[in-house]
Chain A
């Protein structure tokens, strides 16, 4: 049996498994409320919560892009382990208080916190819409990238038997099916299965790679002889970039709507903190592993140009598959694991998009039973639009994808500063967000992604925070209710 045929069989088994999980999730459904659909009835326990956080945080980029980046940049990509861990550290500043508020006031969307914190005046509503637009732009962008990666990987795993276009459409529709059927419960349960698959696949691949190359020391010595700059101590700009990347990823990733919604969805605060406690170790078993995989690739394919670096993972897997029947099956497991990572991120993004657009952007009432249905329809519409975009394989929105984190990080003051500083007001927060976003967009579109190693998004965030800080210290022109007054509080339950 060829590698491609084996891939098709594995794909079919995997997909049927997902459908089975979705059906179980549908049967576990309690009602048709947004809380049940988008937050699994707030009953995710520590095991499922951990695995859904894990599978959602590690996208196709982690499994395909990061080895390529390690190949290009060498050992300094160890920074990836640090920045993935920083996400869990930064959650300390957000999760405990947000979790409590979400339970007290029935939050479902990220915008519920904005409504609660800043009340309902005109500026607060504009801030809510601005935050929602940035989040939707980042999520749509993210979804597009996952769809493209799904198509590419399906074609690879089946050796072309399932073409790119069929992979994109087929897997996207499957995600839509199980997400519509079982909501967050289906997403979280499939994430759990996908997370295990990803972990097993990666670790077995690393064991094979290190065994086949003579161990870690031999790998490092070979890299030092082939590409000494990959081993040498990095320069000041790279060190600045290291710090900047830790800040960018750490701060922006906790603002991802799907991450915020998992804080709401936890069964209890205790389950949430236990999941975060374990989650801090996952970069050591995943990001560090994919970094090593990318570094080992330097010793096996030393002459790839930068643009080919993203293909190191599939190249290694193809090589592994030729080592015998057992290796072939193991390689397929890693391929499916990578596909699982992509799908688990895409399904979470899709779920968040529906609730975000229906409630935060369009302002639909949660009490209206039609809101869940509208959220599902909107998510389907966005997915179809992204499928159509992804059908054009040559289209490149990578620059926009780079913008994703730089945009999302501009929402940080609206959540974290507002949560810890009672003087934060909606007007300066909106102004800071607009200015920060404007600077980041203009710089990136003008081709300036970093200044002295620091991302323009991070530098813009400092300007953003400065505006919020000084603006909030200045008394408002029209006397109004101080932020925090009872009149501003909105109960989001329903």
Chain B
């Protein structure tokens, strides 16, 4: 997989993690159990955000930000 495709895949996984961080799938008003001292739905959100931080870091390191023109132009992604 090319660097560019891998970067886009990581960004898509990050989007999925954002959706998963929100407890849509849980019953409203449910009293949670504790995980690492936090309500379980909060622990899931925190896990998702920690994963986002790691994947985001990898995605940035895969990003090419040239300081000289590689031939790119406006609005043509």
Chain A interface (Cβ within 8 Å of chain B)?
75, 78-79, 81-82, 85-86, 88-89, 92, 95-97, 99-101, 103-104, 116-117, 215-221, 224, 228, 231-236, 239, 242-243, 246, 268-270, 272-274, 276-278, 280-281, 283-284, 288, 418-424, 483-484, 489
Does the CB pair B65–A233 fall under 8 Å? no
Kindly list 7 other residue pairs between chains A and B, CB separation below 8 angstroms, not including A239-B23, A269-B65, A277-B60.
A82-B52, A95-B65, A116-B74, A220-B37, A269-B64, A280-B53, A421-B75
Q: How many residues of B contact A (CB 8 A)?
A: 47
- Bound Cα distance from A216 to B27, whole angstroms: 24
Could you say which of A79, A221, A273 contacts B63, with CB atoms under 8 Å apart?
A273
Query: Chain B residues with Cβ under 8 A from A99's Cβ?
Result: 65
Query: Chain A residues with Cβ under 8 A from B74's Cβ?
Result: 101, 116-117, 419, 422, 483-484, 489
Does the CB pair B57–A277 fall under 8 Å? yes
- Bound Cα distance from A85 to B36, whole angstroms: 22
8 contacts between A and B (CB under 8 A): A75-B39, A85-B56, A89-B52, A117-B74, A216-B38, A220-B39, A234-B28, A269-B65
Query: Chain B residues with Cβ under 8 A from A483's Cβ?
Result: 74-75
- Bound Cα distance from A276 to B74, whole angstroms: 23
Query: Chain A residues with Cβ under 8 A from B60's Cβ?
Result: 92, 273-274, 276-277, 280
Does the CB pair B22–A242 fall under 8 Å? yes
A243–chain B nearest beta-carbon distance, Å:
6
Does the CB pair B65–A280 fall under 8 Å? no
Query: Chain A residues with Cβ under 8 A from B38's Cβ?
Result: 75, 216, 220
Given the known inter-chain contacts A92-B11, A97-B72, A483-B75, please indicate yes or no for A280 contacting B57, CB distance below 8 A. yes
Query: Chain B residues with Cβ under 8 A from A233's Cβ?
Result: 23, 26-30, 32, 41
Does the CB pair A92–B63 fall under 8 Å? yes
Does the CB pair A422–B76 fall under 8 Å? yes
Chain B interface (Cβ within 8 Å of chain A)?
11, 14, 18-19, 21-24, 26-32, 34, 36-39, 41-42, 45-46, 48-50, 52-53, 56-57, 59-61, 63-69, 72-77
A13–chain B nearest beta-carbon distance, Å:
34
A51–chain B nearest beta-carbon distance, Å:
17
Given the known inter-chain contacts A273-B61, A273-B65, please indicate yes or no for A236 contacting B28, CB distance below 8 A. yes
Does the CB pair B65–A270 fall under 8 Å? yes
- Bound Cα distance from A117 to B75, whole angstroms: 8
Could you say which of A79, A269, A418 contacts B67, with CB atoms under 8 Å apart?
A269
A386–chain B nearest beta-carbon distance, Å:
34
Does the CB pair A268–B67 fall under 8 Å? yes
Does the CB pair B39–A231 fall under 8 Å? yes
User: Which residue of chain A lies nearest to B45 when distances are taken between CB atoms in the complex?
Assistant: A78
Does the CB pair B63–A219 fall under 8 Å? no
